[in-house]
Structure 1
Amino acid sequence: MPYAAAPDGTRIAYQVHGQGDSGDGGVAGTGLPLVLLSGQSNSHHWWDSVRADFDAVRTTVTLDYRGTGESDKPDVPYSTPGFAEDVVAVLDALGIDRADVYGTSMGGRVAQWLAARHPSRVRRLVLGCTSPGGLHGFERDRSVSTALASRDQRAARATLLDLMYTPTWLATHPGPYGTTGDPHMPAYARGRHLTASRRHDAWEVLPDITAPTLVVHGTADLFNPTANAPLLTQRIPNARMHLIPDARHAYFEEFREVASPLVLDFLEAPTA
């Protein structure tokens, strides 16, 4: 397992797949890599069900956030700007000067900081089911948060699955699910991730994003309310929005046949 060294020395595990996989954890050949950033308290396995869609045409790079997967798990404060610097460390370790970036959920929050603070490293940006955070962002309903925090773990998990997928999809896809959290993550790290996501506030830096941006959201997303999508679109220069009807938080998986081509068409479109 290859690792990058974060600015504070934390080891960040990363994975390279797709057309430019050199076979030794590096990037071979030509073509702009695509960085895939997963949701809160999840490792790179968040992307397992759809990664092949992007591997077919791109070198894809994922990482295990600190606190997840094979990365180190320091018991120190985490933040979305800090996660973005971990991504930069991975790009540096791979010798990647510039990449396209697709972040979903908390990964979209991380991607906002990456694109705003390191504009030369991001060519095109896709922000999925995410939020600007802070006072301007739309928070989920309190009843949703209360249900997710239930001491009844089975009930809390049922709530999470219902927020991620439609009942019709769940009825025909019994799992396991790669979007419901890293099962091997220590409790303290899970708490650190939750705090990092809750404290995210990129409102002031969103106008600094120079990469053409696609904002994608499901119209039935109650986990991260759909109202955040137009906020991001209006705040980021040269951004456009696509809403997927009836999709919940894990739109990229359940509505894969819509979402993956949508993202690839945006990334592969000729530069104006």
Structure 2
Amino acid sequence: MPTIKVNDINMYYEIHGEGEPLVLIQGLGFEISSITQGKGKADYLDKYSQKYKVIVFDTRGSGRTDKPDIPYSIEMMAEDTIGLLDLLGIKRAHFIASSMGSCIALTLAAKYPERVKSLVLHVAFHRVPFPRNVIWSLMWRMPGGKKQMMKGADFLFKQQYPPTPESFARQGLAPLNFDGRKLLGQIKASTLIVNGTKDQAVSMKITQELAQGIPGAKLVLVEGDHLFISQDINLLLKPALEFLAEVDAF
């Protein structure tokens, strides 16, 4: 299966479909087999690949991509993404990014505006508004927080290619050390944000700050938590496809 040398890592990636490039960026600890095989492929990836050339990849520290024993950063993972696109000869693309992936996409869009045609940010955030030494305990004590965290951890470590505890920890520190507030006003790409109203990982304050900070961003709120697409993928798929069609129409 396709692996390519990007910066200091061997990165695993797949390409599905033909058409204009669409890059999917996963969240913390997620690897791509959950959307390139079986039900995830049929319900999600195939809906995009009917019209677009979909590029999916495992970020550093996840899946079948290398997991170097060094500190990771959002900026580093953004450069990995651009490096992959350079090697594939892709000059410009739509991006759909989830959770931590939204931080990567924001960094890309601010630094390389000419490479980003549009952004769809899902369960998205641009900063973590708590000290990193207390964030997990705070989330655990929030109403519904324990359930969301246990559900997420159960899924992550039962994936076909789960992260190691060490690589998961290194990835987990990257968004905690990231503050994208200064980037938001630099985003020139058309942007859609699809966030949940019951998300204990991303507060409504952060959601509103993100949406208001990006010029012209469109915000869609759905009733659900950080993993709402596991209940109904169409809560993301429908607005995303409609938004992409609108962008492509111009």
> What is the TM-score when the length of structure 2 is the normalising length?
0.85
Structure 2 residue runs of 5 or longer lacking an equivalent are: none
The count of corresponding residues between Structure 1 and Structure 2 is 239
Which range moves more in the overlay, 201-210 or 252-261?
A: 252-261
CA distance in 1, matches of 2:208, 2:127: 13
Question: Is 1:42 aligned to 2:26, yes or no?
Answer: no
2:15 is aligned with 1:16:
yes
Match of 1:66 in 2: 60
Q: 1:190 aligns with which of 152, 163, 168?
A: 168
Q: CA–CA distance in 2 between the matches of 1:35 and 1:61?
A: 5
Q: Is the 8 A contact 1:160 1:180 kept in 2?
A: no
CA distance in 1, matches of 2:92, 2:161: 32
Closer, same or farther: CA 240–10 of 1 in aligned 2, 3 Å? same
Kindly indicate whether the alpha-carbon contact (under 8 Å) linking 2:103 and 2:125 is maintained by their aligned counterparts in 1. yes
Contact 1:129-1:224 within 8 A present in 2 as well? yes
2:139 to 141, 144, 159: 144
Partner of 2:119: 125
C-alpha displacement at 1:61, in angstroms?
A: 0.7
For residues 125-151 of structure 1, give each alpha carbon's deviation from its aligned partner in whole angstroms, at most 9, with x where no partner exists.
0111121105599x968442469xxxx
1:256 to 233, 236, 242: 233
Conserved? CA contact 2:58–2:65, under 8 Å? yes
What is the CA–CA distance in structure 1 between the aligned matches of 2:135 and 2:232, rounded to whole Å? 22
The one of 203, 213, 219 equivalent to 1:225 is 203
**Alpha carbons 1:134, 1:202 under 8 Å: kept:** no
Deviations 1:75-109 (CA, angstroms, capped at 9, x unpaired): 01101111111111111121110000010110111
Runs of 5+ consecutive residues of structure 1 not aligned to the other structure: 21-30, 148-155, 165-175
List aligned pairs for 1:91-110, cutoff 5 A: 91-110=85-104
Change in 2 beyond 3 A, CA 1:46/1:40: farther
How much does 1:250 deviate?
1.9
TM-score scaled by structure 1?
A: 0.78
Tell whether the 8 Å contact from 2:199 to 2:225 is kept in structure 1 after alignment.
yes
* Contact preservation (8 Å) 2:122, 2:236: no
Post-superposition offset of 1:6: 2.5
Opposite residue 227 of structure 2, the aligned amino acid is A
Specify which structure has the higher proportion of helix. Answer: 2
Alpha-carbon distance change, 196 to 38 in structure 1, aligned in 2, over 3 angstroms:
same
Specify the code of the residue in structure 2 equivalent to 1:11. N
Q: How many Å apart are 1:181 and its aligned residue?
A: 6.3
Provide the C-alpha distance between the structure 2 equivalents of 1:116 and 1:177, rounded to a whole number of angstroms: 32
Alignment partner of 1:213: what SS? Answer: strand
Of 158, 177, 192, which aligns to 1:214?
Answer: 192
Query: 2:157, 2:49 → 1: CA distance?
Result: 19
Distance 1:178 1:260 in 2: 21
Decide whether aligned partners of structure 1 residues 104 and 159 sit closer, same or farther in structure 2, where only a CA change above 3 A counts.
Answer: closer
Task: Give 2:53's aligned amino acid.
Answer: T
